Every structure is written in structure tokens, then in C-alpha cells.
């Protein structure tokens, strides 16, 4: 016999979705659900006849929902705490639905989130809740077997700038910017020391692709390279997709066994036509199917962005991280199915939340490289504990520049952690 979950008929789609993620995807358990009037809210009935109850507060959920707790054992046992409603709130990003909290780029800011305000953004609280449920099942005599997945890294690179210099004049512009705009002799000396600085055939500082592929081969990893599609010249981070360098690069990356992903442009996060046009241009160039990626600038609107990705037939998005803060935006450290709040249904699209990003650590938080390494080691330990997937974004442009050279050791530390 399987685990039986009984609950009141209200919010069936939301409850069924939450149970699917917690019990089937995280715990790997089979269960049967029944929607019928219950006396105690959610009733979990075990094959051995034992039962335990969790309050049902789905009907009180709304985008501004707040709880006065820090998610410790005492809070889980509270007669007012619905672990399922809370997990739905986190996974569906309900707090980002129909809200006026937005930054200059139209993004939901970390500081407005429940997790940040309660000091738990650095904890995968959905996984914690699921562990608590598992322990409660075991104490009640449940003998089912939990299928804990193996930890793995998910490395990705959003290719905003495949090259720093497309022309000889661009090299002079970089040098002039160091001397005249930033008035930095140190930066100017850095560029003058680069081999072949004024030879057009010399290596470009952003062209790290071969070096990185060799590193990933050395440490037994693959990386997803998210390329932008064809857009009008002058668009943010525009580059010529039809350029022979780009064509050869994408072909080489695919042949080496790495993933070609999509990096939709700034305006596309809620624009189906723009999204489709950019995706089609990249797909025409790629020798492999392009089914996953991440929005440029991490722009996300709930539910519009997930709807755009779903309608385009994409399989996996990895936009849900905060630019200005590291951590678990959805409270989970693994891929999970997205939920459309407006249509009240689980989507085929999966969300793989972004946990760490180079510019978050170095520029938004202004950490030192040593502090960056400490962050990465912390998240590696936490995610590995839950058999999750640790998603790290590092831009190819964050490598061979005066600012980023000291941060190379941070990225290399990630590759060494198994």
C-alpha cells in the first residue's frame, strides 16, 4: 500500500502540485491523494494504519503572505504552520505575483522577499521542510524507501560578450578608457602587457572558451553556454550571430559535448514574439537542440516569463536567482516544475534556480576572492547534504581583465569541489 494524503477539496491544483514536488520529486515516494472533507486539514495516512495531521491554510495564501517564524523544529510543530502551503508559496514564487516591488530593471528584489527578511535566503527551506516530513513519516512507522539523488554541479556561462574586441579600434578604445575615463595607470599597464595587444589576430581576453573546455575536461564537468539570439544592432549586449567566429564557436562547443543554451535579450522576458524570434535565430545556427537557458539580467515576471518559455517549447529555465544576493530564491536546491499561478496548473517547463553568480559575489556584495571561496564552499556543503544541484553562473568576460584576474581562483575552486 502507498501513502495516502487526504485534504479538503479547496485548492486542489495547488496541493497536488506541492505534493508532487515534495513527495515524488524530492523524496521519490509513491502516494495516493484524495480530496474530500477532513476534520484536521491535511491527513497523512500510512500503510501501517498510523496517521498524522497538518493544518490546511491554503485558503489564506496571498502574494503578501508572511509568517512569524524562523523555520526551526518548534515552528514545524506549530498548530498554525502548514508546511505544504509554505512550500507552495516558495516554489510558485507567489510573493512575486502581482506585486509592485521592482528594481530599476523590473526585477523582484531580494530584500523584498520573505526569505531575505527572515534571514533564511541561504537555506534551502523547501528541502528542509521535506526532510522534516520524512522524519515524521519514519517516526510513525513508514517503511518506504527514500530515493536521494546524487549531488551535482551545474556550471553555466551567459555569453553576453563573446569578444571584447571586434576591431582594432576597439583595442585602442579599451586603452583610452583606462587612461582617460577611469584614469588608471594600473589598468592601462595591464592591457599593454597582454600578448599581441595591437595584433588583430591575437587572442581576445573574452575568448576563454578553449581554455575553459580544457579545464572542464580536466575536472570531469560540462558547462552550458547560453548564447543570445539575433537582435537589432545597438541592442543591449548585441553581437553578430552570423559572424564566422560565432558560428565556429557554437559548433566547436557542441562537438566537445557541452550544452548550447539560450540567453534571451533584455526585452524578451514578457514578449513572446521577441523571445521566439531570438530563439529561432540561435536554433538555426546550433547543431543541437536548444531547450534550456536563462533570461538576460535575470529579468523575470510571474507568471509571464514562465508562460513565454512554456509556449516556446523550452524545457528548462535557470533565471530564478537574485542579482544582488546569493541563495535559494525558490527555497529549493534542485530543478523542479514551474507552476502557472494565473492558470493554476503545473507546467512542463522546469526551473533550475540559480544559486551563485560571479557579479553577485564580486560586484553587488563586494566580497574579496577569499570570501567568495568561503561562500562557494558553504553552498557546496549545504546542497551536497540534500543531494541537490548547485547552479553557478560565471561569465566568460569575468576572467582576463584587471578586476577579474584575482577571481580566477574562486572559479577554479568550484571545479575542484566534488
Per residue in 207-250, pLDDT (tens digit) is 999 999 999 999 999 999 999 999 999 899 999 999 999 999 99
Is there a domain that residue 8 lies in?
Answer: yes
Same domain, 235 and 316: yes
CA 262, chain centre distance (Å): 14
Is there a domain that residue 94 lies in?
Answer: yes
Same domain, 121 and 243: no
The boundaries of the domain holding residue 69 are 3-139
Same domain, 116 and 210: no
What confidence score (pLDDT) does residue 182 get? 84
Extract the runs of DSSP E, i.e. beta strands, from 80-135.
none
Same domain, 101 and 159: no
Comparing CA positions, the residue from 44, 16, 6 lying closest to residue 132 is 44
Same domain, 124 and 222: no
Cell 595591464, residue located: 190
Confidence of residue 77 (pLDDT cuts 50, 70, 90): low
Is there a domain that residue 59 lies in?
Answer: yes
Same domain, 222 and 275: yes
> For residue 97, how many other CB atoms are within 10 A of its CB?
15
- Three-state secondary structure call for residue 321: coil
* Beta carbons of 408 and 213 less than 8 angstroms apart: no
- The tally of domains found in the chain comes to 2
What confidence score (pLDDT) does residue 294 get? 98
What pTM, to 2 d.p., does this model score?
0.94
Is there a domain that residue 95 lies in?
Answer: yes
Same domain, 104 and 229: no
Comparing CA positions, the residue from 102, 101, 10 lying closest to residue 58 is 10
Same domain, 233 and 296: yes
- Three-state secondary structure call for residue 357: strand
Same domain, 121 and 156: no
Is there a domain that residue 194 lies in?
Answer: no
Is there a domain that residue 173 lies in?
Answer: no
Is there a domain that residue 178 lies in?
Answer: no
Amino acid at each position: 500500500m502507498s501513502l495516502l494524503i487526504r485534504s479538503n477539496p479547496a485548492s486542489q491544483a495547488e496541493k497536488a502540485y506541492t505534493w508532487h514536488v515534495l513527495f515524488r520529486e524530492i523524496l521519490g515516494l509513491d502516494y495516493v491523494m484524495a480530496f474530500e472533507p477532513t476534520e484536521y486539514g491535511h491527513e497523512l495516512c500510512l500503510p501501517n494504519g498510523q496517521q498524522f495531521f497538518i493544518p490546511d491554510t491554503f485558503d489564506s495564501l496571498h502574494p503578501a503572505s508572511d509568517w512569524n517564524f524562523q523555520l526551526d523544529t518548534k515552528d514545524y510543530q506549530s498548530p498554525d504552520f502548514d508546511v505544504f502551503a509554505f512550500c507552495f508559496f516558495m516554489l510558485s514564487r507567489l510573493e512575486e505575483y502581482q506585486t509592485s516591488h521592482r528594481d530599476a530593471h523590473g526585477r523582484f528584489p531580494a530584500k523584498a522577499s520573505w526569505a531575505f527578511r527572515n534571514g533564511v535566503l541561504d537555506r534551502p527551506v523547501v528541502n528542509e521542510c521535506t526532510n522534516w516530513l520524512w522524519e515524521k513519516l519514519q517516526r510513525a512507522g513508514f517503511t518506504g524507501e527514500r530515493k536521494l539523488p546524487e549531488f551535482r554541479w551545474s556550471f553555466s556561462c551567459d555569453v553576453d560578450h563573446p569578444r571584447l574586441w571586434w576591431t582594432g579600434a576597439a583595442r585602442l578604445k579599451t586603452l583610452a578608457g583606462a587612461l582617460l575615463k577611469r584614469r588608471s595607470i594600473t589598468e592601462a599597464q595591464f592591457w599593454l602587457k597582454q600578448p599581441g595587444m595591437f595584433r588583430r589576430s591575437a587572442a581576445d581576453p573574452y575568448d576563454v572558451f578553449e581554455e575553459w573546455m580544457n579545464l572542464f575536461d580536466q575536472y570531469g564537468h560540462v558547462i552550458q553556454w547560453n548564447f543570445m539570439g539575433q537582435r537589432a544592432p545597438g541592442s543591449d549586449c548585441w553581437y553578430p550571430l552570423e559572424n564566422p567566429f560565432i558560428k565556429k564557436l557554437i559548433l566547436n562547443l557542441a562537438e566537445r559535448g557541452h550544452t548550447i543554451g539560450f540567453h534571451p535579450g533584455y526585452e524578451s522576458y514578457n514578449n513572446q514574439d521577441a523571445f521566439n524570434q531570438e530563439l529561432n535565430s540561435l536554433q538555426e545556427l546550433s547543431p543541437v537542440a536548444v531547450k534550456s537557458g536563462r533570461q538576460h539580467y535575470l529579468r523575470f515576471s510571474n507568471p509571464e516569463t514562465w508562460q513565454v518559455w512554456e509556449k516556446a517549447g523550452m524545457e528548462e529555465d535557470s533565471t530564478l536567482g537574485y542579482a544582488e544576493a546569493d541563495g535559494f530564491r525558490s527555497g529549493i536546491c534542485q530543478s523542479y516544475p514551474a507552476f502557472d499561478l494565473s492558470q493554476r496548473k503545473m507546467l512542463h517547463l522546469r526551473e533550475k534556480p540559480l544559486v551563485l553568480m560571479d557579479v553577485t559575489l564580486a560586484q553587488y556584495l563586494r566580497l574579496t576572492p577569499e570570501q567568495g571561496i568561503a561562500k562557494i564552499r558553504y553552498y557546496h556543503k549545504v546542497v551536497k547534504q540534500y543531494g541537490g544541484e548547485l547552479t553557478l553562473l560565471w561569465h566568460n568576460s569575468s576572467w582576463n581583465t584587471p578586476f577579474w584576474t584575482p577571481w580566477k581562483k574562486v572559479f577554479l575552486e568550484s571545479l575542484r569541489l566534488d
